[in-house]
Structure 1
Amino acid sequence: MQAGAVSREPPPRIDASADVVVIGAGACGLAAALKAGDAGADVLVLERDGSASGSTSMSSGFVPAPATRFQWTAGIEDDTPDRFLADIMAKSHGSSHARLAALAARTIGPALEWLADRHGLEWIVLDDFLYPGHSRHRMHAVPEKTGAALLARMQAATERAGIPVVCDARAVRLFVDDLDRVRGVELLRPDGAAEIVGCGALVLACNGYGGSRELVARHIPEIAGGLYYGHAGNTGDALTWGEALGADVAHLSAYQGHGSLAHPHGILISWALMTKGAIQVNTEGRRFSDESGGYSEQAVCVVSQPGGVAWNVYDQRIHDFALAFPDYRDAVAAGAVIRAADLSELARATHLPEAVLQETFIELEASRSGRRKDAFGRDFSSLPPFEAPFCGVRVTGALFHTQGGLVIDDNARVVRPDGAPFPNLFAGGGAACGVSGPNVSGYLSGNGLLTALAFGFLAGEGALDRSLN
């Protein structure tokens, strides 16, 4: 059976049951499970893979949140949910779902503090650079600064809480009664055996549809030819179930891209390098955009270059800064980072035309010194000039995850087009409509984990209440 089926018939049997069933064991699903478990619910998490990894483990693990005590500890005392909301809306040019953006902005801080106080997650604030679009240092991370470490800490918390996570359990069908109340979930095991789990409430935390070529081509054709750097299991099950039930959906053309994935190594090169002055050139040795913009929209710019690739170019100062990031150290170890004593050696190593690369550097210095305006509108005036030795990384643009999905209410319940909520169906993270608006350019750094943790927190809290009614 293909996933995404909905049955209006009663379940033929119930093999197990729980107050709250969560589909997906990423950051959103585990946040929902932990929140519902805190309130005393009997919770069961279903994970399609043999072990939970998914999009969270592939991410940077950075979560934007305002007005947290972690910011205060770092000396950042003037951030507020309203300021964060203004940044979200500015990045999307006012096209974000305003209610959901406000909901995420005011929920994420309490969610991170709850994870720390109740479940022992340790948060640090990255205060040595500002990601594009953020007016304050509000990016939080676990000390390891990786998505894999964030997920591992949440998995450990789930295990301590005694919440079972059943792996190799692919949810394929929902059983829904005449009142649109979800009564059970059918799942398939690797050997083809089927089981049916009854539920008081269901949380969809199975992300979006980036792993479905068909849905990507339908909704976001501009990136259909790009590399997909997300979890293969993100095939749109939540969207398919929601549409079958008549749920409201929004911003299906929205997604997070990234214009700096080391190629062919498949290692993320942090956009923080661009904030420190790195540039991108195409295979002709020429710049083609303002690199200080968002890394999401840069994916389209890079994919549109000859061969769908570009080179990140920077100097030793930026290289030393980047070594603080585990992904960058992995890229160095994998041989993705080319180091050269001077520009001529860099041109030979990267097969970029030296004369054009020299010209690009001359133009760059002219822009930095104020002798000319940058052709792409980037302001280099506050950045130091490049100094040898130099580095280069061959990169491509990629689709990371989709940002459109099921519209939810302020309790994370899925709603119909008229705004009426389904009785006991919840969604968060990539399964829900995000806060980036309908375009790739609306993605503000961290929006993915923002809605995963904020809406997962709300879904877990609301699911327990609805499971008892």
Structure 2
Amino acid sequence: MSTVHTGVESGGFDFSMPLVIVGAGACGLVAALAAKEAGIELVVLERDAFPRGSTSMSSGFVPAAGTRFQTAVGVVDSAELMATDIQKKNGHEADPAIVNTLAEQSAGIIEWLADRHNIPFELVQGFLYPGHSAERMHCTPRRTGEELMGALLTAAENAGIDIITDALVTDLYANTEGRITGLTYEQPDGSRETLGCDTLLLACNGYGGNQSLVKQYLPQMERALYYGHEGNQGDAIRWGEQLGASLKDLGAFQGHGSLADPPQTLISWAVMMQGGIQVNIHGERFSNEHGGYSEQAAKVLAQPTQYAWNLYDHRIHDYLTRFEDYQNAMATRSVKTFDSLEDMAHALTMDLAVLESTFSEMASLAESGQSDRFGRTFAAQDLLKPPYCAIRVTGALFHTQGGLEITPGGRVLDDTGGVLPNLLAAGGAARGVSGSNDTGYLSGNGLLHAIVMGGIAGRTAAAMLADPP
């Protein structure tokens, strides 16, 4: 699997297309829409029987700065501010040219998808995700990645984009100059077809589903629950290695510290940003819940039994009912409600004195205005009041953030800094903008790269095909 055969010139393939895109998740679909609009013939290869990708398992929130959706409700934002937020979170470890490009192009890509392809974006209001200086998350009405994927698939169908499903790409072919000439894909019945191409775009995500690569690059998450697409096997990385591509930030990933388990349903970090807390089985807080949900995964996994409880109240509960994932958690009776701390401690087998001390400390901090030992402050209006709600969560690995190093246009770089002749990458297949580990992930970085860089890479591919060297 994931083999590159070199010294293979063009010709001799079963059929050929100017542009081939590997992966029909959000990244691949947006890239296809962009290239198709430019008049390029293309095909998208998808390993699953039905395209869903990691996007379908997300909340579907895409950050963008300076959109008309923000302007309509009076939100002031800019590409410069967004880029600053991204770099501040990752400790300035990401490529500034990529960060600036994503921030500058984000509004245009979101509005293009909305206006040209009827993706029903709206602005998420009511709270800021950690690290964001403005309300800039854009989502579809049900606030699920599944709905976003459905809208993109409808757009692809309306645009006449050919998607071959059940098509697992196993081999790439390149000539002696490193130019991709074609590939082989295999279908469930074992049949194999070869497909020639003039340009190849990898939108096949990262390596989160490959246990051996996780063990190699992310040992701290080796035992974590993986809540990503099982097809994320690191094919792009392995092809890239064989082609001499530059690989960067392979230790970067997005975790999440709020996955209800059971039933493995994502619980929005809005819980924490609206005033909620996380406690362990003793009733103790163990972190600053406003630091970010990615790095929170490892902190939750470090607790006894590797679980924690999200604690919040009915004010927050009412807000969360806007999220379909939360409605699903309610349907499985994962959300527990209590009239008092005594009832909660008894039902969850916590130490009542410890739990009362946790709540007493929050009240004291709100009154004094001081921060706790973790650096979090509490506002009086956000203090939790009965009846209380609780939901058990664990930490999970969502997707990796390292990969093929690319130019701001999405072209893959080799290990000497030059560009590979006709290979592009975007989304999880490419190096992201989250730095080198889990602490640099700013909410939405994954879909930002998938959606925005997907669109940019699709346009780059179209320009390359229109003006070949």
Which residue pairs with 1:266 in the alignment?
264
Taking the aligned partners of 1:11 and 1:396, their CA distance within structure 2 comes to: 50
- Superposed, 1:123-134 pairs within 5 Å as 123-134=121-132
Residue 309 of structure 1: how far off its partner (Å): 0.7
Structure 1 residues 18-54: Cα deviation after superposition (integer angstroms, max 9, x where no partner): 1111000011000110101001111100000110111
Q: Which amino acid aligns with 2:301?
A: V
More divergent stretch after superposition (67-76 vs 147-156): 67-76
Residue 9 of structure 1: how far off its partner (Å): 3.0
Other structure's SS at 2:382 match? coil
Taking the aligned partners of 2:97 and 2:417, their CA distance within structure 1 comes to: 12
2:153 aligned to 149, 152, 155, which one?
155
Residue 372 of structure 1: how far off its partner (Å): 6.1
Residue 263 of structure 1: how far off its partner (Å): 1.2
- C-alpha RMSD of the superposition: 1.4
Q: Which amino acid aligns with 1:58?
A: M
Residue 371 of structure 1: how far off its partner (Å): 7.6
Residue 100 of structure 1: how far off its partner (Å): 1.4
Which residue pairs with 2:36 in the alignment?
37
Taking the aligned partners of 1:27 and 1:140, their CA distance within structure 2 comes to: 14
Which residue pairs with 1:318 in the alignment?
316
Structure 1 residues 167-203: Cα deviation after superposition (integer angstroms, max 9, x where no partner): 0000011110112111111000101111011111111
Which residue pairs with 2:53 in the alignment?
54
Residue 381 of structure 1: how far off its partner (Å): 2.6
Structure 1 residues 386-435: Cα deviation after superposition (integer angstroms, max 9, x where no partner): 21111111100000000000011122110112321111101000000000
Taking the aligned partners of 1:150 and 1:371, their CA distance within structure 2 comes to: 41
2:166 aligned to 161, 165, 168, which one?
168
Other structure's SS at 1:21 match? strand
Check the 8 A contact 1:88/1:435 in 2, yes or no.
yes
- Superposed, 1:271-420 pairs within 5 Å as 271-370=269-368, 373-381=371-379, 383-420=381-418
Change in 2 beyond 3 A, CA 1:414/1:264: same
Structure 1 residues 130-186: Cα deviation after superposition (integer angstroms, max 9, x where no partner): 111000111111122111111100000000011111100000111101121111110
Check the 8 A contact 1:308/1:397 in 2, yes or no.
yes
Change in 2 beyond 3 A, CA 1:38/1:386: same
Other structure's SS at 1:327 match? helix
More divergent stretch after superposition (13-22 vs 263-272): 13-22
Which residue pairs with 2:118 in the alignment?
120
Other structure's SS at 2:229 match? coil
Residue 437 of structure 1: how far off its partner (Å): 0.5
1:69 aligns with 2:104: no
Residue 375 of structure 1: how far off its partner (Å): 2.4
Q: Which amino acid aligns with 1:123?
A: F
Check the 8 A contact 2:8/2:176 in 1, yes or no.
no
Check the 8 A contact 1:212/1:234 in 2, yes or no.
yes
Taking the aligned partners of 1:6 and 1:352, their CA distance within structure 2 comes to: 59
Which residue pairs with 2:26 in the alignment?
27
Taking the aligned partners of 2:380 and 2:351, their CA distance within structure 1 comes to: 28
Change in 2 beyond 3 A, CA 1:80/1:382: farther
Residue 439 of structure 1: how far off its partner (Å): 1.5
1:88 aligns with 2:62: no
Taking the aligned partners of 2:5 and 2:400, their CA distance within structure 1 comes to: 23
Check the 8 A contact 1:368/1:379 in 2, yes or no.
yes
Taking the aligned partners of 2:92 and 2:82, their CA distance within structure 1 comes to: 13
Residue 220 of structure 1: how far off its partner (Å): 1.3
Taking the aligned partners of 2:409 and 2:395, their CA distance within structure 1 comes to: 35
Taking the aligned partners of 2:443 and 2:6, their CA distance within structure 1 comes to: 39
Taking the aligned partners of 2:307 and 2:95, their CA distance within structure 1 comes to: 33
Residue 11 of structure 1: how far off its partner (Å): 6.9
Residue 10 of structure 1: how far off its partner (Å): 4.1
Q: Which amino acid aligns with 2:145?
A: G
1:450 aligns with 2:448: yes
Q: Which amino acid aligns with 1:320?
A: D
Residue 361 of structure 1: how far off its partner (Å): 1.3
- Superposed, 1:95-244 pairs within 5 Å as 95-244=93-242
Taking the aligned partners of 2:166 and 2:39, their CA distance within structure 1 comes to: 26
Provide TM-score, normalisation by structure 1: 0.97
Change in 2 beyond 3 A, CA 1:373/1:181: closer
Q: Which amino acid aligns with 1:448?
A: G
Other structure's SS at 2:104 match? helix
Q: Which amino acid aligns with 2:102?
A: A
Other structure's SS at 2:19 match? strand
Residue 8 of structure 1: how far off its partner (Å): 3.0
Residue 373 of structure 1: how far off its partner (Å): 4.3
Other structure's SS at 2:119 match? coil
Q: Which amino acid aligns with 2:64?
A: A
Superposed structure 1 runs of 4+ greater than 6 Å apart:
none
Taking the aligned partners of 1:15 and 1:335, their CA distance within structure 2 comes to: 53
Other structure's SS at 1:60 match? coil
Residue 353 of structure 1: how far off its partner (Å): 1.9
Residue 226 of structure 1: how far off its partner (Å): 0.8
1:13 aligns with 2:19: no
Residue 383 of structure 1: how far off its partner (Å): 3.8
Structure 1 residues 70-116: Cα deviation after superposition (integer angstroms, max 9, x where no partner): 1111211x311111000001111222222211121112211111112
Provide TM-score, normalisation by structure 2: 0.97
Identical pairs, percent: 47
Structure 1: which 5+ residue stretches go unaligned? none
Residue 14 of structure 1: how far off its partner (Å): 1.6
Structure 2: which 5+ residue stretches go unaligned? none
Check the 8 A contact 1:200/1:466 in 2, yes or no.
no
2:77 aligned to 76, 79, 82, which one?
79
